[in-house]
Amino acid sequence: MNPFVYSHPVPPADLVDREEETAALVGLAEGGHAARLSAPRRYGKTSLLRKVKEDAEHAGMACVYVDLTRVVSLADVADVIEESYRRSLQGPLRRAAVLAIRSVSNVAVRPGGVGVELSGGAAKDAAARRLRQVLDLPLRVHGATGTRTLVIFDEFQELLRAGEDLDGLLRSRIQHHTTEASYLYAGSHPGLMQQLFATEERPLFGQARPIALTPLRDEDLGAFVAERFEATGRDAGEALERLLDVAGGHPQRAMMLAHHTWERTEPGGTADAAIFAAALGVAQAEARDALQALWDRLPHSERVVLSTVAAGRPPLNARALELAEVGKTTARVARDRLIAAGVLADRDGAIAFTDPLLPYFVGGLDRVED
C-alpha cells in the first residue's frame, strides 16, 4: 500500500517535523494561555491540531476540536460547538458535557412556546443567549470533573462570516475562563486571522500568542520520504533531491509528489529523474482544476503579480508592470492581498509562492500536449 497520504489530514504518528510547534502549543494550553495558529490551506494545519489534541489529552486536559468551516450564523456556531463536545470527549468528561448541553439546549429560542417562530432581532437575541451558554461549557465541565478544557477552534476566521461582532461575544465569555479553559484559534487565511487578533479595534486584539507554520525542513522531510520508500522495498534515489527542490517544504504537495513517485517506482527499484518528472506531471494535472479556479477569481492586478513572481522577478518589477499596464501602487495592494490570502508568502523579505505547483501553472509549464 502506498505509504504517502495527501488527500486528507494525517494521523499524529505520520506528522512530519512539527515537534517544536506541538510542544509550544501544548505548553501554552497547560499554562492557561491562548494561542493562534495561522497557515495557508493544505499546509498541514489540521494534522498538527490533531497531534496537539492527542498530546494535550495525554497531559490530562479535556480537548474539544471545533471546525467552523461552514458556519453562517450564531445558531450554526452554537450547534457546531455542541456537537464538537459530544464528538471530542469520552467517559466522565463527555457525560459532564452532555448533561450541561442538555441543560442549555432548552434556552428559549422560541420563548412564545413550542411552534412559535421568532423573527428579526428577537431570533438573533435568542440565538446569542444560547451561544453564550454554550461558550460557557468549559465552566460546567470543570465544575463536574476538575479538568481544564482545551478548545481548538479550526478555521476561526469564518466567525467573521457568521457575524461581524461574534469575536466580541466570544471574548465576553472566555475572558472569565481563567482556570477552566485554554483556547487555540487556527485559521487558513492569514489576513483575516491578522485582522481578528492584530487590529487594535477588535475585541481579541493581543489575546493569543501567534504561532506560524513554516515550510518543513529538508532533513526531516527527506528522512520521512526515504524511510517510507525503504520500508516498502523501494529506493527514493535521485528523485528525492528533486522532490525536495520542487516541494519547497510544502507538506501536502511533498506527500503528493512522494505518492506519485512511489507509484511509478517498481518494487525493488530506484526512483530516478525520469520517474520523478512523470510524477510531477501527474501532480500538476491533478492540481490543475483547483489552480484554475484560483486563477479565475483573481483580478488582473493579482494575476500580473503572480506572473511576475513566477518569472523569477520581484512582484513590483517596473518593466513587468509597465507591460501589463498596472501601476506600482495597484501592484503593491495586489501583492499584499495575495500574501494575506496565503497565495504568496513573505519569507524574510523574499516573496515566494506558498503552493509550489502554482508557479508551474502560472508560467504555463504544466500544459499537457493533446
pLDDT digits (tens, 9 = 90+) for 322-359: 999 999 999 999 999 999 999 999 988 899 999 999 99
Q: How remote is the C-alpha of 35 from its chain's centroid?
A: 14
> For the domain with range 18-212, which CATH number is right: 3.40.710.10, 3.30.70.1450, 1.20.1250.20, 3.40.50.300?
3.40.50.300
Give me the mean pLDDT over the 229-248 stretch: 97
In 112-202, where does DSSP find H-type helix? 120-135, 137-145, 159-162, 166-174, 190-198
pLDDT in tens, 126-139: 888 899 999 999 99
pLDDT cut 90: percent of the chain above it: 78
Give the 3-state secondary structure of residue 97. Answer: helix
Q: Which three cell numbers stand for residue 302?
A: 493579482
What are the residue ranges spanned by the domains of the chain?
18-212, 218-362
User: Mutual orientation of helices 45-58 and 19-30 as an angle, nearest 10°?
Assistant: 50
* Confidence band of 36 (pLDDT split at 50, 70, 90): very high
